[in-house]
Amino acid sequence: MSKVELYQGIENGKDKIGVKISDFSATLDDLLAAWQPLCDDEKLHKMFASDYHCACRGCQVNCCHTAYVVPDLIAFRHMCAHLNLKESEFALNCLDQQKRSLGFLRLSPNPCLFLKDSLCTVYPGRALLCRFYICSDIMGDTEQLIYSITWTGIAAAQAYAREKNLIPPHPGGGFTSLDLMLVKTIEEFSRHPGVEYFRHAREYAEIPLKPFLPERL
């Protein structure tokens, strides 16, 4: 039996995707392994897909064209290694420099610099924001689990980047309303105990799910 299992159920009158944790030794890697098939499931209802059913691979509606992608710490390290770039080189060549000046590790957008012919060129090392996005309805407790893990990883990346002088420690003004929301969210999750797991991990298999689990899971 898998440590993490998917299921479909009804919540608030909608058919939604959820996860069940059957073994509390499960890691983030176990969750990602269970989640990955959803990306290529053409039977699954996807809000923005052609005829509402399409594999994510090569999707022409591709949200990667405009997404605000801020990598978690493990993805940040994976991307640097994949591109054979020093972290400082990655920050200079792969980040949105205007957002970087405000203290965000946002990947260069419109479209994402890693998007070629509607395919992600760093797919094995992509960020958690991208890994979990399937444009389908998700059960509330599962959505909270994903949200907590992803933003804890992002908060860890932001703290690491400040320590390494990859982003300014005290950015000035020029924030949009979305930027201010991100600042608040990152500050909130910077206090999550899971930040320490991300700071010391090199792979998602080293991140336990237990510290992130809502009671219902």
For the segment 152-170, the average pLDDT, to the nearest whole number, is: 94
Residue 170 pLDDT class (50, 70, 90 cuts): confident
Helix (H, G, I), strand (E, B) or coil at 131: helix
pLDDT per residue as tens digits for the range 30-64: 999 999 988 887 787 777 677 767 777 767 776 77
Q: Which two tokens stand for residue 182?
A: 């991100």
- Integer Cα distance of 95 and 74 in angstroms: 16
Query: What integer pLDDT is reported at residue 62 of this predicted model?
Result: 67
d(C-alpha 164, C-alpha 173), whole Å: 22
Q: What is the pLDDT of residues 60-81, one digit of tens each?
A: 776 777 889 999 999 999 999 9
3-class DSSP assignment, residue 200:
helix
List alpha helices for 40-139, DSSP H.
73-83, 87-94, 97-101, 128-132
Q: What element of type H or E holds 196?
A: helix 194-200
Task: State pTM to two decimals.
Answer: 0.93
Q: Are 85 and 137 in contact (CB under 8 A)?
A: no
Q: In Å, how far from its chain's centre is CA 18? A: 17
Give percent of the chain above pLDDT 90. Answer: 70
Residue for token digits 């930027």?
Answer: 179
| DSSP H stretches of helix in 23-139 | 28-39, 73-83, 87-94, 97-101, 128-132
Structure letter (DSSP) for residue 138:
B
Longest dimension (CA), the chain: 52
Which structure tokens are listed for 166? 């990859």
In whole angstroms, give the CA distance from residue 79 to residue 89.
Answer: 12
At residue 215, does pLDDT exceed 80? Answer: no
Between CA 199 and CA 190 the distance in angstroms is 11
